[in-house]
Amino acid sequence: MITLDELLERDKKREQDGFKRKIRIGQIVKPGAGGREKIIVVPTTVEEKFVHDDIVPEQEQGEGEPTGGTGEGQEGDIIGEQPIRPEDGQGEGEGDGEGPGEGKGGAHEIEANAYELGKVLSQDFELPNLKDKGKKKVLARYVYDLTDKNQGVGQVLDKKATLKKIVETNISLGRIPDVSTIDTTGFIISPQDLIYRILSREKEYESQALVFFLRDYSGSMGGKVTQTVVSQHVMLYSWLVYQYEKQVETRFVLHDTEAREVSDFQKYYSYKVAGGTKVYTAFKLVNDIVEKENLARDYNIYVFHGTDGDDWDKDGKQTLAEIEKMLTYAARIGITIVEHSYVGSKQTEVEKYIQSSGLLTRREHLIKLDVMAENVDDSRIIQGIKTLIS
């Protein structure tokens, strides 16, 4: 069976042959008890053919695709309702007493797959490695390991090192006149030549990253825009998992006209509403969380925001204020705007006010903006990641 690596290798060759890449990185979210879901990364592809479009253009707006049904009732009867803005079950509204590290987003089961994908992204797609892994902010942790060497006594004989030492000794004693013909039977072995490994306490420095993923889930975010944003966020997440050797924690925030934190990626990925858009609420919520939980001290904080660029706050006054505040602690803010094809190339509100605020040049090492169209392929999405993290 072919591996993901081989598939990507093959995909690279397509580009050389003048065809578009076809492998996309898909993700399946496996629900688990208590919000401990797994993200399973799988390759996907589509086989293009001439087919009828699923979207029926004459469908009345606000109407979903009709389907079959069975049961009692007259025409026009309402048979059920389903909330558009899903409730978050238990977790909603608390927020106190739960520090990072457990509960909420912290309890992510880090999936080997995400690490693998991060590796693939870093190597095959040439995403840059983090220059500064942020070692200043450290978590010191002790591990016991057979790393120290000791002459004479110890737990495990290091044969290779011992042999080296013996050769060294014998050369200095002049017992090896010709290096091409060594007679080992004539070696003299000193007790001090024996090298052992001993168990020792090691202090391990690890960098920690805390990533906030923010997503606009308002009504305008339908279809591809959301897919594109989520794809990019999954890849970003994977890349960070790889870069930080799995020491990454994630928090998820969704917003329409108000922001809320959701407990896991699945909810982050799947929730939809039909409301309006106030971007600042998401940034404000992150600022509040960071302040309340005192996160800035212990973590490298990354904030990534995905939106289609609509904002009721047209000049972005509130949003910019929150971003300014965020820039005081964040290691990086990356904003992705995925434009609807019907918007054309005209600038969206968010793009306009961010551009005109001058933040992108004034604080260019801290905040990045990436704008793409909704029907871009994976290579463009990855390109976008490069922009966001460069």
C-alpha distances (whole Å) from 13 to each of 18, 23, 46, 383 are: 9, 12, 18, 18
Choose the binding region for another protein from 9-17, 93-101, 186-194, 280-288 (rule: CB under 8 A): 9-17
The Cα 97–Cα 118 span in angstroms is 32
Is the distance from CB of 341 to CB of 374 less than 8 angstroms? Answer: yes
Tell me which residue has tokens 């509040």.
Answer: 288
* Contact between 62 and another protein per CB under 8 A: yes
Q: Which of 8, 12, 15, 18 binds another protein (CB under 8 A)?
A: 18
Nearer to another protein, 56 or 143 (CB): 56
* Contact between 103 and another protein per CB under 8 A: no
Q: Which of 19, 192, 328, 364 binds another protein (CB under 8 A)?
A: 19
Q: Which of 339, 255, 274 is CA-nearest to residue 64?
A: 274
The Cα 258–Cα 256 span in angstroms is 5
- Would you put residue 27 in left (φ > 0), alpha (ψ -120 to 50) or beta? beta
* Contact between 373 and another protein per CB under 8 A: no
Choose the binding region for another protein from 70-78, 96-104, 135-143, 177-185 (rule: CB under 8 A): 70-78
Least distance in angstroms from the C-beta of 321 to another protein: 23
* Contact between 87 and another protein per CB under 8 A: no
Is the distance from CB of 323 to CB of 282 less than 8 angstroms? Answer: no
* Contact between 17 and another protein per CB under 8 A: yes
Is the distance from CB of 354 to CB of 326 less than 8 angstroms? Answer: no
The Cα 193–Cα 151 span in angstroms is 7
Is the distance from CB of 373 to CB of 338 less than 8 angstroms? Answer: yes
Is the distance from CB of 340 to CB of 372 less than 8 angstroms? Answer: no
Considering only residues 263-292, where is the footprint of another protein by CB under 8 A? 273-277
**Could you give the string, one character per residue 335-364, with x where binding to another protein holds by CB under 8 A and - elsewhere?**
-----x-x----------------------
Considering only residues 299-318, where is the footprint of another protein by CB under 8 A? 310
Is the distance from CB of 240 to CB of 302 less than 8 angstroms? Answer: yes
Choose the binding region for another protein from 42-50, 95-103, 159-167, 191-199 (rule: CB under 8 A): 42-50
Nearer to another protein, 49 or 297 (CB): 49
Nearer to another protein, 125 or 304 (CB): 125
Choose the binding region for another protein from 1-9, 164-172, 298-306, 316-324 (rule: CB under 8 A): 1-9
Q: Which amino acid is at 35?
A: G
SS3 231: helix
Helix (H) or strand (E) holding 358: none
Could you count the other beta carbons within 10 Å of the beta carbon of residue 76?
5
**Could you give the string, one character per residue 214-233, with x where binding to another protein holds by CB under 8 A and - elsewhere?**
-----xx-x-----------
Nearer to another protein, 55 or 153 (CB): 55
Could you count the other beta carbons within 10 Å of the beta carbon of residue 81?
6
* Contact between 69 and another protein per CB under 8 A: yes
* Contact between 13 and another protein per CB under 8 A: yes
Nearer to another protein, 57 or 186 (CB): 57
Between strands 138-151 and 195-207, the pairing is antiparallel
Least distance in angstroms from the C-beta of 278 to another protein: 11
* Contact between 321 and another protein per CB under 8 A: no
The Cα 354–Cα 322 span in angstroms is 12
Least distance in angstroms from the C-beta of 263 to another protein: 18
Considering only residues 239-258, where is the footprint of another protein by CB under 8 A? 257
* Contact between 61 and another protein per CB under 8 A: yes
* Contact between 82 and another protein per CB under 8 A: yes
